[in-house]
Amino acid sequence: MFSQSEENYIKAIYHLDAVSEKGISTNAIAKKIVTKASSVTDMIKKLSDKKVVIYKKYQGVTLTEFGRKTAANIIRKHRLWEVFLVENLNFSWDEVHEVAEQLEHIKSPKLIDELDAFLGYPKRDPHGDPIPDKDGNLQQIEKSLLSTLSKGEQGVCVGVDDSSSEFLRFLDKQGVKLGQNIEVIDIESFDGSFQVNINEKEITISNKVANNIYIQKN
């Protein structure tokens, strides 16, 4: 029903909508997709005709219920493939995104349902992001950015905000992984850097890094 380009737009609008309290502007979509605003306008017209989005001048773009379910299905495929690549093909968490970007456009619902069952119906991808079920529902958990913790507080690493390969490789070098307990030992007043304890090893991370790590408080 949808081309690869249309699916990329639908997913981009879904992600933008998650962090916006109002309609999404065509400029925001253009920035997310890395394309011209005029191209976005043409695509929004196509998606509107397919009942995926609603566009109102000066109010921006919003997804219809059909559009949300379509986006959730694309994201489900993407995240299931990421789990498969890590658990079965020896990919590391910094290598899977680009490959999953290609695999997410496979159309077969049976293949994805069987993949889900084969993997044991995982709830999270390798980066800690929730995997929608076949009906588009997400199982959310309470989480906080590490940067919001105070001295003495601790929690389990449950995800990352920045899933770029560069950031994930940096975390690997620091020994930061999902499921690890992180305790804030001290916070430097000068630059906001954090001294943390991870698996009985103390390291210092910048405020920028702490602002990209999600923690579920103990």
Give the chain's domains with CATH numbers: 4-63 (1.10.10.10), 144-217 (2.30.30.90)
- Give the model confidence (pLDDT) of 39-96 as tens digits: 999 999 999 999 999 998 888 999 999 999 999 999 999 999 999 999 999 999 999 9
> Which segments of the chain does DSSP mark as H helices, in order?
4-18, 26-33, 37-49, 65-88, 96-103, 109-118, 165-174, 207-210
> Which segments of 89-206 does DSSP mark as H helices, in order?
96-103, 109-118, 165-174
Residues facing 217 on adjacent strands: 155
Residues facing 154 on adjacent strands: 183
**Percent of the chain whose predicted confidence (pLDDT) is above 90:** 87
Q: Which pLDDT tens digits describe the chain residue by residue (218 residues)?
A: 899 999 999 999 999 988 777 899 999 999 999 999 899 999 999 999 999 999 988 889 999 999 999 999 999 999 999 999 999 999 999 999 999 999 999 999 999 999 999 999 999 999 999 999 999 898 888 899 999 999 999 999 999 999 899 999 999 999 999 999 999 999 999 999 999 999 889 999 999 999 999 999 98
E strand or H helix at 156: strand 154-160
Identify the pLDDT of residue 22: 84
127: nearest Cα among 165, 153, 183, 99: 165
> CB–CB of 147/180 below 8 Å?
no
